Amino acid sequence: MSIKTKIFLIIFITTLMFIIILCMINYLLRLRPPSSLILVWKRIHSEGKDVLSICFSPDGYWLASGGLDGTIKIWRVRDGNLFKIIRIGISIKCISWSPCGRNIAIACPGGIIKILRTNDWKLIKVIKSKNVKSVSPILFSPDGNFLVSGGGFLKEIRPNIWKVVGGGIKVWQTKDWKLLKILNPDKGINWLSFTPDASYLASAEADKFIRVWELPEFILVKELAIDEIPKCIVFSPNGKLLFIGAGYEVIFWKFLEEDISQRFLTCDESIDNLVFSSNGRFLAIKSRSSITFYQIIDKKRIFKLYIPYAKWLAQITPCYIIAFSPDSKLLAIGDENGYVHLYKIKDGYIR
């Protein structure tokens, strides 16, 4: 081997090692939260089993986590102590806490919704709703009068590409858990969101439409057609704007004033969930492998947290694994290794 070849190999190997080290440093830095996010506690929900949903109680005292292991765990927020383990028996797809705090609704596979009473954690109602898909939007209205679920059936239209078909929106009145209405029974429903004052319900539907229903009669008052299938929606805390995640874009709609939407921002990955902090300062965008935080006032991206889901399956998309506390001072995140992380937002700002 000539001297020139040896020198070339030495330079090549040194450069390659340098690039590898830089990539490792960059990867580790990406995993670090900003200094304004302070880890309060980290707890194991279930070893090696994905956390699929988390939800704060309305007073912010408790945090509920549900996972692939078929249990719900209730954590005391202030110190992370495990207060209660509730064994459901099948995986937990979505959890919704009633505004009064007295009930928890749980969406499970097979169109099953279970209602728990929180003063003794007893099961008080099982609703068999065939319209609920495996990852189900389910939520209480902010006034606590209604429980709504949406979904359909997942149909594989191409290898590993799934579409929600059929199902519609079911509305129950919470005073007696009777089915009140079925809206758009032939439509696949990807997401549901109420305005904070419980005046309107919005649905993201698989036919590329956003529909808005006026309460308490659930009358259809607005429709918006968009180019992509909407995956998720959320009303702004003031209830005037509806934010829509569709494909790689977040768009917003002044639904009371206009019949057209406007682009808010474009993301690097397709969007699974949108979550507002209650003070309206931050929008968290959940994609398959990360959560990105934006400052609403100037659309500035302030932080991206990587949470790869190596064991992701086509029918188990972990969309509901991020939640702000009711006072916007805490942030809870679940991960694929079965951990629940609670962060404190220093001074109310993420930098």
- Three-class DSSP category at 279: coil
Instruction: For residue range 313-347, list pLDDT tens digits in order.
Output: 444 455 678 899 999 899 998 887 788 999 888 75
Q: Using 50, 70 and 90 to split pLDDT, how confident is the model at 135?
A: very low
Per-residue pLDDT at 253 exceeds 90: yes
Residue with the larger pLDDT of the pair 177 and 110: 177
Mean pLDDT of 150-167: 68
In the sheet with 112-117, reading across from the earlier edge strand, the strands are 94-97, 103-108, 112-117, 122-128
Mean pLDDT of 5-22: 69
Per-residue pLDDT at 43 exceeds 70: yes
Strands 178-183 and 189-194: unpaired
Per-residue pLDDT at 6 exceeds 80: no
**CB 348 within 8 Å of CB 331:** no
C-alpha to C-alpha distance for 267 and 263, rounded to whole angstroms: 11
Residue 225 is predicted with a pLDDT of 94
Residue 153 is predicted with a pLDDT of 65
Amino acid residing at 107? A
C-alpha to C-alpha distance for 292 and 66, rounded to whole angstroms: 22
The domain locations on the chain are 1-32, 36-348
Residue 280 is predicted with a pLDDT of 86
- The whole-model pTM stands at 0.83
Amino acid residing at 100? C
Quote the distance between the C-alpha of residue 235 and its chain's center.
Answer: 14
Candidate from 75-79, 174-178, 239-243, 291-295 with smallest mean pLDDT:
291-295
Instruction: For residue range 180-191, list pLDDT tens digits in order.
Output: 998 988 888 889
Find tokens 């569709």 and name the residue. 246
Is domain 36-348 in CATH 3.30.230.20, yes or no?
Answer: no
C-alpha to C-alpha distance for 172 and 107, rounded to whole angstroms: 14
Cα distance from N-terminal residue to C-terminal residue, the chain: 54
HSE, side-chain direction, 13 A CA sphere, residue 4: 0
Residue with the larger pLDDT of the pair 257 and 309: 257
The DSSP line for 20-85 is HHHHHHHHHHHHSPPTTEEEEEEEESSTTS-EEEEEE-TTSSEEEEEETTSEEEEEETTT--EEEE
Rama region for 88: left / alpha / beta (φ>0; ψ in -120 to 50; rest): alpha
C-alpha to C-alpha distance for 255 and 260, rounded to whole angstroms: 8
Per-residue pLDDT at 175 exceeds 90: yes
Residue with the larger pLDDT of the pair 265 and 141: 141
Strands 322-324 and 330-334: antiparallel
Residue with the larger pLDDT of the pair 243 and 12: 243
Per-residue pLDDT at 85 exceeds 60: yes
Per-residue pLDDT at 99 exceeds 50: yes
Per-residue pLDDT at 195 exceeds 80: yes
C-alpha to C-alpha distance for 2 and 304, rounded to whole angstroms: 48
In the sheet with 262-266, reading across from the earlier edge strand, the strands are 230-235, 242-246, 249-253, 262-266
Q: Is the dihedral of CA 55, 60, 62, 63 positive or negative?
A: positive
Residue 222 is predicted with a pLDDT of 94
Q: Using 50, 70 and 90 to split pLDDT, how confident is the model at 129?
A: low
Find tokens 């704007």 and name the residue. 241
